[in-house]
Structure formats: structure tokens, C-alpha cells
A = this chain, B = another copy of it.
Amino acid sequence: MFTAVKPNRIFQDIVDQIQDAILRGQIAPGEKLPPERELKEMFSVSRGTLREALRVLEQKGLIEIQLGVGGGAVVQAVTPEIVADGLSLMIRSLDIPLAHLQEFRTVIETNIARLAAKRATPENIEELRAILQEGMDALDQHAGWEAYVAADAKLHMTLSRITGNAVYEYIQTGIHENINRYYAEFLEHEESVLREHYGDLKAIVDAVESGNEDEAYAAMQAHLRRLGD
């Protein structure tokens, strides 16, 4: 019925005003807010209070501060990191076990594969093939597992983008970034293992290309199951 009363804090009001302006698109990403000494006049507050507001906006990922002449608060496009940061805090704080991350990830990514198979355009397929090639090149040229892993990540991200549903993209990025902290330590980096892994990816792309949703789903599932052993 009623909700707790919070004392009005000036900096919060400033945060709200600026955030609204950004989310309404009145200030586009890349544009700069006026310098602190001007903003403080506009809002009729002290610089300290204004700076507290800017800290909050910066933490939210809405602005980024640059130093020096011509520096200032640059409005940022919303990135998946906002989501990833929240997830990261949750995962660390609750000590989420790897198995739970994998369980969740499997649900997300298998459905991503299914939707990608349903919605991929010929251009999308080309993109996927190009990324596969990058991975294969990395293997053939013994470019190190980092190069291969980068291609792998790119493939997963591209699949999520192909779904056309940004929610998948953002959540997947968040989970991925956090799950990789585990994998980076334990993953096998031997070439034979990586080539098996590559075979999985190729099977997924093949299924997506053929538009076979169930096959794409199954291929992704098999792939993730192999990682979870």
C-alpha cells in the first residue's frame, strides 16, 4: 500500500534528470555533457554534489569521463557490460557453482541455436562461415589457443545476434564473460581437443545453414555437454 520514504538527495535528482535525457535520446552516445563547472551552475549545486551524480551515472555505464582539455563526460551507448556487471556481482557474491552457470547457459544457447537456424539470412551464414574459417586458420597456423578461443566467442556472439532478439545477446554475453573465468584455467588447449571443438562448431553452423532447428539445438547441446565434462 505505502512505500518507505527516502530523504531527497540532490545528487539523485541530478542523476535522474541526466539519465532521462540520455534514455530519451536527447543526448546521443558520443556527445559530451557540459564541463562540471558549467553543469554545477545549471543545476545550482556545488561541484561535490554534481560529481557524486556523475559517479553514479558513470557506474551505470551511461557516461565515461575523459581527462584534460576537451575532456568531460561522454555519453555511452548501452553495452552488454551493464548486464554482465550485474551478473558478475551476483555470481561472485552468491558463489554460484560452475554447474549452475552451465545449466543455465545450455538452456540459453541451445535456444539461440534453434532461433538462429530459424532466422538466419544468407548473409548471416556467410558471416558464420567466415568466423569458422578464422578458427580453422588459427588452428592451422598454430596461432595459439587465444586466437582460436576468440573465434569461438565470436561465433557464439554472432549466433545470439542472429536471433534478432537483443535480450539473448546481452544475457549470453553476461553469462559468457563470467563462465570464461572458470574455463580459462581448466580448458584443454591441446590442438587435438581444439579440433574436436571445431568440429562441434561446424556441425552447429551446418545445422543453422540448413535451417534445421532441432538439429541446431541438438548440435549446440552436444557441444556444451562436451565442455561440461
27 contacting pairs across A/B (C-beta < 8 A): A22-B93, A23-B92, A51-B52, A52-B52, A52-B55, A55-B55, A55-B59, A59-B59, A59-B60, A60-B89, A82-B90, A83-B87, A85-B86, A87-B170, A90-B166, A90-B167, A91-B167, A96-B166, A96-B167, A100-B167, A101-B167, A103-B167, A104-B168, A107-B107, A107-B108, A167-B175, A171-B171
| 4 additional A-B residue pairs with CB within 8 Å, beyond A52-B52, A94-B166, A103-B165 | A48-B51, A55-B55, A78-B89, A80-B90
Contacts of A168 in B (CB 8 A): 104
A70 at interface, CB cutoff 8 A = no
Number of copies: 2
Contacts of A78 in B (CB 8 A): 89-90, 93-94
Cα–Cα distance between A56 and B11 once the two chains are bound (Å)? 12
CB < 8 Å neighbour of A86 from B51, B56, B83, B103: B83
Contacts of A90 in B (CB 8 A): 78, 80, 82-83, 166-167, 170
CB < 8 Å neighbour of A55 from B11, B61, B165: B11
Give the 10 A-B CB pairs with smallest separation, nearest first.
A86-B86, A78-B93, A104-B167, A100-B165, A83-B86, A59-B59, A107-B111, A55-B55, A52-B55, A82-B86
Count class of interface residues, chain A:
35 or more
Min C-beta distance of A88 to chain B, whole Å: 10
Q: Which A positions have Cβ atoms within 8 angstroms of B?
A: 7, 11, 22-23, 48, 51-52, 55-56, 59-62, 67, 78, 80, 82-83, 85-87, 89-94, 96, 100-101, 103-104, 107-108, 111, 165-168, 170-171, 175
Chain B CB within 10 A, most for which of A61, A78, A90: A90
Contacts of A91 in B (CB 8 A): 167
In the complex, what residue of chain B is closest to A101 when comparing beta carbons?
Answer: B167
Min C-beta distance of A99 to chain B, whole Å: 9
Min C-beta distance of A68 to chain B, whole Å: 10
Contacts of A101 in B (CB 8 A): 167
Cα–Cα distance between A55 and B112 once the two chains are bound (Å)? 37
Contacts of A100 in B (CB 8 A): 165-167
Contacts of A56 in B (CB 8 A): 55-56, 59
